[in-house]
Amino acid sequence: MKIRAVALNTFREAIRDRILYLLIFFAAIGIIFSRFLALLTVGDRVKIIKDVGLASISLFGMLIAILIGTGLVYKEIDKKTIFTLMAKPIHRYQFLLGKYLGLLLTLLVIIILMSLIFLFLIFGHTLTIEWNLLVAILFIFLELCVLTAVAILFSCFTTPILSSLYSLAFYLIGHLSWGMETIIKKTKPGLGRTLLRILYIILPDLENFNFKTEVVHNLPIPGEIYLQSFLYGLFYSLFLLVLAMIIFQRRDFV
C-alpha cells in the first residue's frame, strides 16, 4: 500500500538521521546514570533507578518525536523532494499519514530498545522482571503518538525551530493542566469561568498518560482509566492529524 511505502521510507529516513543516534546515546547515558545516582540517595535504590529510567525514556522519546517530527514535512517542502512525489498517484493525506506512521514506527523501535536495557538493569537489581513497568512505558508511547502528531501539524506550516518551540509549549501545557484546574476553582462563576472551562477541556492533558508514579510505588490503578486514556490519546492524535491533513491539502508548495 502507498501509505506503507511512505511509512517505511520515513523510517529509513529517520534511521539514517544523525540526530537520532545522538539522542539515543544520551538516553542510554541517562538510564545508566540512574545507576550511579542511586548511590547518592537516602532510601530505596531500585526506586530511583525506576524513576530516572522512566523519566529518560519519556524525555528522550519526547525529544526525538519533536526534533525529528518537526522536520519531517518541512524538509520535504523546503528541499523540494515533494515535487516529484506530487506527480505520482498518491493523495496528499496519504503521504502525511505515511510520514506519521513512519516516525511512530521509529519511536516504537527505539522505545523497545530502551525498555529492554531498562528492564535488564532492573532485573540486575531485583532479579525479577517487573512487568508493570511496561504499563507505564506503553502509555509513554501513547503520549508520544500525540506529540508526534502535534510536531507534524506544526511542520506543515512553519519552520523546524518554531515548530519545535510550539511543540514544546504543547508538551508543557499538557503537563500543567492541573494548574488550570486550580485557577478555575478560584474563579467566580460566570462567562469567564465557562470559557476557561472550555479551554481547559480542549487543551491537552498529557498527565492522563502518566502512570510512572503509580507503577514505581506499586499503587493500584483504577481499571477504567486504561481504556479511556487510550481512547483519549487516539482521538486527540486523530484530531491533530486531521488538522494537519487539512492544512497540508490546501497549501501551495512553493
Q: Which is nearer to other proteins, 118 or 211 (CB)?
A: 211
Instruction: Give me the least distance between CB of 160 and other proteins, in Å please.
Output: 17
CA distance 200 to 190: 15
Instruction: Give me the least distance between CB of 231 and other proteins, in Å please.
Output: 6
Q: Which is nearer to other proteins, 129 or 201 (CB)?
A: 201
Instruction: Give me the least distance between CB of 2 and other proteins, in Å please.
Output: 5
Query: Taking Cα atoms as reference points, which of 4, 141, 121, 135 lies closest to residue 64?
Result: 141
Cβ atoms 52, 30 nearer than 8 A: yes
Q: Which long-range contacts (CB under 8 A, 24 or more apart) does 213-217 make?
A: 214/136, 215/50, 215/54, 215/132, 215/133, 215/135, 215/136, 216/47, 216/50, 216/51, 216/54, 216/136, 217/47
**Start-to-end CA span in the chain (Å):** 28
Instruction: Give me the least distance between CB of 79 and other proteins, in Å please.
Output: 6
Q: Which is nearer to other proteins, 151 or 241 (CB)?
A: 241
Q: Which is nearer to other proteins, 63 or 215 (CB)?
A: 215
Instruction: Give me the least distance between CB of 48 and other proteins, in Å please.
Output: 5
Instruction: Give me the least distance between CB of 164 and other proteins, in Å please.
Output: 21
- The residues of the shown chain that bind other proteins, judged by CB under 8 A, are 2, 5, 9, 12-13, 16-17, 37, 40-43, 47-48, 51, 79-91, 93, 201-202, 205, 208, 213-214, 217, 219-222, 224-225, 228-229, 231-232, 235-236, 238-239, 242-243, 245-246, 249-250, 252-254
* C-alpha grid cell, residue 226: 486504561
Q: Which is nearer to other proteins, 12 or 29 (CB)?
A: 12
Q: What is the 3-state secondary structure (H, E, C) of 124-151?
A: HHHCCCCCHHHHHHHHHHHHHHHHHHHH
CA atoms within 13 A on the CB side of 15: 12
Q: Which is nearer to other proteins, 134 or 197 (CB)?
A: 197
Angle, helices 177-186/191-202, rounded to nearest 10 degrees: 170
